[in-house]
């Protein structure tokens, strides 16, 4: 809007007339562009599952930002321009004037190079169209090849660990392992803030040979550097715990999306659908074969299962007559016996907190606002690309997609749209006149005249989506 009003003022209109004329020309296009952008992101906010959890907040932020930007472009921007813009008297003096002069000279050079490049691309337009079609095919191929369920791991400042001692060991033996884990955490993890080690408790079931531990890390500003990240700490601890001969001890990052597994990485469930034809030992053997093949894959590491088939069992014969004589309820007796020989659920605990519409106009009047608006948008998304600390993986992934998508879309708008315009215009002329279109030759003038094969003086007006 500001660039449009400034251009009208350079044509001789006063600032109020320039504001009204610009509003009359661009309001519909700005509204349409904003609605198209919203139509892209609104469905994203309704995505289900892990994808929806990751992208919903981002989509809502973009939608409301577009709405606020649209309101600003239709109200405050033209009003403020009509009040404060004035006709430029040269480029000014002093350091600021020198900066503007250098900038305008540089931009004039860029404009000449852009005109020359556009003329060249129009001469080889069939080649450009071919490259464009190949690009579309490559996009489809990449879309079908990239995994759709990938969720990057996040440094949430919390690590979870699992302990599994041999089957049949007592709880006291498991407690010794938990003490070893506790001392190792104190010694080997200077980033440690708080820890909790529990014997007899497992994330996939309880038992005297099970154990679980959680520990908090210090704030991210106190552990800068990749060597102090959750990923590095997990690798460090697993290399140490892998030498323990008393139990299987394994640490992992928390899942990036809450509810998708009990630890980070991936979770696979193997189901016995043989209708009892497989014994427990045979089923376990199949699971172990699967794990062995998975660990041979370089993309996977430390694949394991806590499922066992060699746990010692007791056969208990309950004298119901004796229970009745002593007036002991059978269900209460079973509950007491289960709590005595194993574990019983008591309570929960809490640990830590946890896009362009096309406008027809001359190159000189629209290249500048397109570039200025794009540069401003790219600068706004750059912090996402360069983000660090908590949640950096998701922000970097989203920022790179938006930054790269906007950059590529602008390049296509500035270079591909003029070529496609000439191609489509020639095709429509051929269809309406029944003659093959004349191959347009670029004129040596400053504007891009006769690009559509018409007489001298007709100007091809480039289109480009300019965000509000």
Please report the pLDDT score of residue 459 as a whole number: 31
Q: Which residues have a Cβ under 8 Å from the Cβ of 128 and sit 6 or more positions away?
A: 121, 416, 419
Higher pLDDT, 90 or 109: 109
Residues 394/154, Cβ–Cβ less than 8 Å: yes
Residue 176: pLDDT over 70: yes
pTM over 0.75: no
Residue 275 has pLDDT above 70, yes or no: yes
Report the alpha-carbon distance of residue 366 to residue 73 in Å, rounded: 17
Residue 321 has pLDDT above 80, yes or no: yes
Give the architecture (CATH level 2) of 154-265. Answer: 2-Layer Sandwich (3.30)
Q: Are 409 and 355 in contact (CB under 8 A)?
A: yes
At 54-89, the pLDDT tens digits run 678 778 888 888 888 888 888 888 888 888 877 666
Beta bridge partners of 101: none
CB-CB contact of 217 with 191 (8 Å): yes
| pLDDT score of 194 | 86
């Amino acid at each position: 809007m500001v660039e449009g009003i400034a251009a009208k003022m350079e044509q001789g209109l006063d600032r109020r007339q320039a504001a009204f004329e610009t509003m009359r020309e661009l309001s519909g296009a700005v509204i349409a562009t904003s609605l198209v952008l919203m139509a892209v992101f609104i469905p994203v906010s309704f995505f289900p599952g892990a994808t929806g959890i990751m992208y919903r907040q981002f989509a809502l932020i973009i939608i409301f930002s577009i709405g606020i930007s649209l309101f600003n472009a239709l109200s405050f921007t033209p009003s403020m321009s009509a009040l404060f813009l004035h006709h430029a008297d040269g480029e000014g003096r002093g350091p600021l004037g020198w900066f503007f002069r250098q900038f305008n000279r540089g931009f004039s050079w860029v404009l000449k190079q852009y005109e020359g490049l556009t003329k060249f691309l129009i001469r080889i337009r069939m080649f450009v169209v071919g490259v464009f079609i190949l690009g579309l095919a490559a996009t489809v191929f990449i879309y079908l090849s990239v995994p759709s369920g990938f969720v990057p791991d996040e440094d949430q400042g919390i690590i979870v660990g699992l302990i599994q001692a041999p089957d049949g060991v007592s709880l006291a033996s498991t407690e010794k392992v938990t003490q070893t884990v506790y001392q190792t955490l104190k010694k080997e993890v200077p980033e440690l803030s708080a820890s909790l080690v529990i014997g007899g408790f497992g994330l996939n079931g309880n038992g005297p040979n099970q154990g679980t531990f959680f520990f908090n890390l210090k704030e991210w500003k106190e552990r800068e550097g990749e060597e102090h990240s959750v990923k590095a700490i997990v690798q460090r601890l697993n290399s140490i715990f892998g030498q323990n001969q008393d139990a299987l001890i394994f640490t992992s990052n928390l899942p990036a999306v809450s509810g998708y597994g009990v630890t980070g990485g991936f979770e696979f469930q193997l189901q016995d659908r043989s209708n009892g034809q497989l014994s427990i030992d045979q089923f376990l053997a199949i699971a172990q074969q699967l794990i062995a093949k998975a660990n041979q894959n370089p993309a996977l590491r430390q694949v394991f299962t806590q499922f066992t088939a060699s746990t010692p069992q007791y056969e208990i014969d309950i004298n119901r007559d004796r229970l009745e004589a002593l007036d002991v309820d059978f269900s209460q007796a079973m509950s007491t016996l289960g709590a005595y020989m194993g574990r019983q659920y008591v309570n929960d605990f809490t640990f830590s907190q946890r896009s362009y519409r096309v406008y027809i106009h001359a190159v000189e009047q629209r290249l500048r606002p397109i570039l200025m608006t794009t540069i401003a948008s790219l600068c706004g998304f750059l912090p996402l690309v360069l983000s660090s600390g908590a949640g950096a993986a998701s922000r970097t992934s989203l920022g790179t997609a938006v930054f790269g998508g906007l950059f590529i879309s602008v390049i296509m708008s500035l270079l591909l749209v003029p070529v496609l315009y000439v191609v489509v215009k020639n095709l429509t002329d051929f269809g309406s006149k029944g003659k093959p279109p004349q191959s347009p030759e670029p004129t040596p003038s400053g504007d891009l005249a006769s690009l559509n094969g018409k007489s001298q003086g007709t100007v091809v007006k480039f289109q480009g989506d300019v965000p509000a």
